[in-house]
Amino acid sequence: MTTTESVSEEFPVRFWDVGDLRGLDFDPFMDRQLREEPVSRVKLPNGEGHAWFVTRYEDVKFVTSDPRFSRQAVVGRPITRLAPHFIPLDEAVGFADPPEHTRLRKSVARSFTTRSLERLRPGAQRAADALLDQMEEQGPPADLMKHLHGPLPLAVISDLMGVPPVDRPQMAKWTNVLLSAAFTRQASEEAKEAMAGYFTDLLAARLDKPQDDLAGDLAEATTQGDLSTEEAVAIALLIQASAAHAVRNNSANMVYALLTHPGHLARLRAEPALLPQAIEELLRYIPHRNAVGIARIATEDVEVAGVLIRAGEVVHSSYLTANRDPAVFDNPHEIDFDRAHNPHLSFGHGPHFCLGSMLARLESEIILTSLIARFPKLRLAEPVEDIRWQRGALIRGPENLPVTW
Ligand code: FLV
Ligand code: FLV
């Protein structure tokens, strides 16, 4: 495998024709690659050229934590990818390598510790209670996307960031266009620019009048010389968009999984103490996204599972396939609340490990406990085939989640 010819023969470039999947169906291409060709070469619908695709648990951990695979090297390159555009601004933490990555992340890390987040719990619970009061008042059937999964994560991150209620519907619109492959490159980049403009203004307002929120912390970091304004804006944008969007979809997928696995839901009702463990298993099981997100580029020749990846080559890896690796998880395609050992990679691995993992868990806990406590007979209000799933999504989730009780 040292010559170009042998690489081409041994690793033909597979076109990954990412289609819309239904429900929580696992992408058949990902399943096949994990089982039959754990390191392969792929071409995605957008960008140029091809990339390596790494699927197994240990190999994914290696690629996402070894400093010879760089995110910074991706910036400005037309890498093969799912979306027509790049989601983060060039200065974002998602594109940074240590040590700059460490500096960028430090400016917001304090707000996302378990201890800081516990202070948000009472307010988040009150917001969930108020939303469910409205849903009950309106009566069944009701769309949980509209009543709960949409507004709650948006409210929680907006409160933390300091985005006032009047601006939240606009945030949701921009985020939907930014975090999707269904719009044109131009439309998505316009949404990103508009959002960047919004956060530039918000941070400037905090410099005039300091406030105790994430926008205030980021503004303060620019005056201390810890961050440039562009870096602070890029961090704010990534947190606001990703938090609201990821939790909206992932928490809806959790509820969908429970409503379509009534035995599991009944068990959670009977054993509420099981909830944290059940959430970890749902996080492992739910295929959070379509295809793959931001790639890395090898800065030196590196072997991955015996395959030589050359300096300059592009590497995609999948946390979804890692979560289904039978070497780590028995019966990986089954939801099993009794898994004793569940080291899933749903929040990523290495330096880019999700900043918001504890916030996402907190919100999912509030959503599931509230629904279980208030609606003993909660069930889908329409046949499962009639639920609409987002098209051209990066992060997968239902468009509507009609329930009755
Ligand atoms: O923030 C990112 C992200 C969030 C997410 O919920 C799913 C993802 O696949 C990603 C991602 O690929 C890159 C991110 O920066
Ligand atoms: O899904 C993606 C994504 C999600 C996100 O919340 C933040 C991101 O930076 C990304 C991304 O860069 C690529 C994705 O496919």
- Domains in the chain: boundaries: 2-404
CA proximity to 162, closest of 204, 113, 104, 106: 204
Q: Give the mean model confidence (pLDDT) for residues 109-117.
A: 93
Determine contact, residues 28/19, Cβ cutoff 8 Å: no
Distance CA(309)–CA(226), nearest Å, equals: 35
Q: Which of the four pLDDT bands, split at 50, 70 and 90, describes residue 3?
A: low
Task: Check whether 5 has a pLDDT greater than 80.
Answer: no
Tokens 């430090």 label which residue?
106
Q: Which of 77, 87, 171, 174 to mutate to test the pocket of ligand 2 (most atoms within 8 A of CB)?
A: 87
Which atom of ligand 2 lies at the shortest distance from residue 241's CA? 6
H/E segment holding residue 54: strand 51-54
Q: Which residues line ligand 2 (CB under 6 A)?
A: 82-83, 87-88, 94, 179, 242, 246, 289, 293-294, 394-395
Q: What is the pLDDT of residue 7?
A: 85
What percentage of the chain exceeds 90 in pLDDT?
Answer: 98
279-329 pLDDT tens trace: 999 999 999 999 999 999 999 999 999 999 999 999 999 999 999 999 999
Task: Check whether 2 has a pLDDT greater than 80.
Answer: no
Distance CA(277)–CA(256), nearest Å, equals: 17
Q: What is the pLDDT of residue 4?
A: 66
Which atom of ligand 1 lies at the shortest distance from residue 319's CA? 9
From the CA of 39, how far away is ligand 1's center (Å)?
Answer: 21
Task: Check whether 358 has a pLDDT greater than 70.
Answer: yes
Q: State the DSSP code for 212.
A: S
Task: Check whether 146 has a pLDDT greater than 70.
Answer: yes
Of the ligands numbered here, which is closest to the C-alpha atom of 47?
2
Which distant-in-sequence residues (6+ apart) come within 8 Å of 177 by Cβ? 183, 187, 188, 190, 191
* pTM score: 0.97
Q: Which residues line ligand 1 (CB under 6 A)?
A: 94, 242, 246, 289, 293-294, 395
Please give the CATH architecture assigned to the domain spanning 2-404: Orthogonal Bundle (1.10)
